[in-house]
Chains A and B, each alone.
Chain A
Amino acid sequence: GENVEQHPSTLSVQEGDSAVIKCTYSDSASNYFPWYKQELGKRPQLIIDIRSNVGEKKDQRIAVTLNKTAKHFSLHITETQPEDSAVYFCAASRGGTSYGKLTFGQGTILTVHP
């Protein structure tokens, strides 16, 4: 089955700095890669996703890049703010009816210091 590795496990940055979280996956058939953010005590929520026919996707201060050849994808957050502090999870799945059968990474605790 799919295996997703996520690094780093913790990340501490100063407000205004950039943050990068990296994930690798093992199943070459995976073609859907979402990122979820979980604030303390709250449920995970999708922040951005990318499909394998796209190399990069941006949404305001966040972006995701995908390298299918190397089987890795990354989340980039620019101009970090304290409200970006949360646990971030990457995930991967195959398409079709397997979209929801996500395999998640271990999570990254991001702390943004004012």
Chain B
Amino acid sequence: DVKVTQSSRYLVKRTGEKVFLECVQDMDHENMFWYRQDPGLGLRLIYFSYDVKMKEKGDIPEGYSVSREKKERFSLILESASTNQTSMYLCASRNTGYLAGANVLTFGAGSRLTVL
């Protein structure tokens, strides 16, 4: 089974703090993603990465940055946390190709961030 592990399940931070959300996958997937989940809004794409050191903005990148120095790890960074960034953050990975199961997003368990 592919495993996508998010290091923190619950975080509480203060406004203005720098926040790091870490995500690690163990199946050598090329693509990794960060989504934000809010009730009534579904899942919205923040950033994604096709491969190491490659990143592309999603639909709501403002206030966030990402880092992918190694294939298995994709980090989401909130440079200066704000209360409107209180949310559930979901990391996902995906393998490419033509085999069965390709192109399916595998999600992590989520990191619930509260910014006070």
Q: Are A and B part of the same complex?
A: yes
Total CB contacts across the A-B interface at under 8 A:
55
Is there an interface contact between A44 and B40, defined as CB atoms closer than 8 Å?
Answer: no
Q: How many Å from the CB of A108 to the closest CB on chain B?
A: 10
Q: Pick the contact of A97 from B33, B50, B90 — CB < 8 Å?
A: B50
Number of interface residues of A (CB under 8 A): 25
| Residues of chain A contacted by B99 (CB below 8 angstroms) | none
Number of interface residues of B (CB under 8 A): 24
| Residues of chain B contacted by A45 (CB below 8 angstroms) | 107
Is there an interface contact between B103 and A99, defined as CB atoms closer than 8 Å?
Answer: yes
Task: Kindly state whether residue A25 has any CB partner on chain B within 8 Å.
Answer: no
Task: Kindly state whether residue A33 has any CB partner on chain B within 8 Å.
Answer: no
Q: How far is the CA of A89 from the CA of B58 in the complex (A)?
A: 18
Task: Kindly state whether residue A65 has any CB partner on chain B within 8 Å.
Answer: no
Q: How far is the CA of A34 from the CA of B104 in the complex (A)?
A: 9
Task: Kindly state whether residue A100 has any CB partner on chain B within 8 Å.
Answer: yes
Is there an interface contact between A100 and B44, defined as CB atoms closer than 8 Å?
Answer: no
Task: Kindly state whether residue B48 has any CB partner on chain A within 8 Å.
Answer: yes
Q: How far is the CA of A104 from the CA of B105 in the complex (A)?
A: 12
| Residues of chain A contacted by B105 (CB below 8 angstroms) | 34, 36, 44, 46, 100, 102
Q: How far is the CA of A32 from the CA of B94 in the complex (A)?
A: 15
| Residues of chain A contacted by B92 (CB below 8 angstroms) | 100
Contact code string A89-114 (vs B, CB < 8 Å = 1, else 0): 10100000101111111110000000
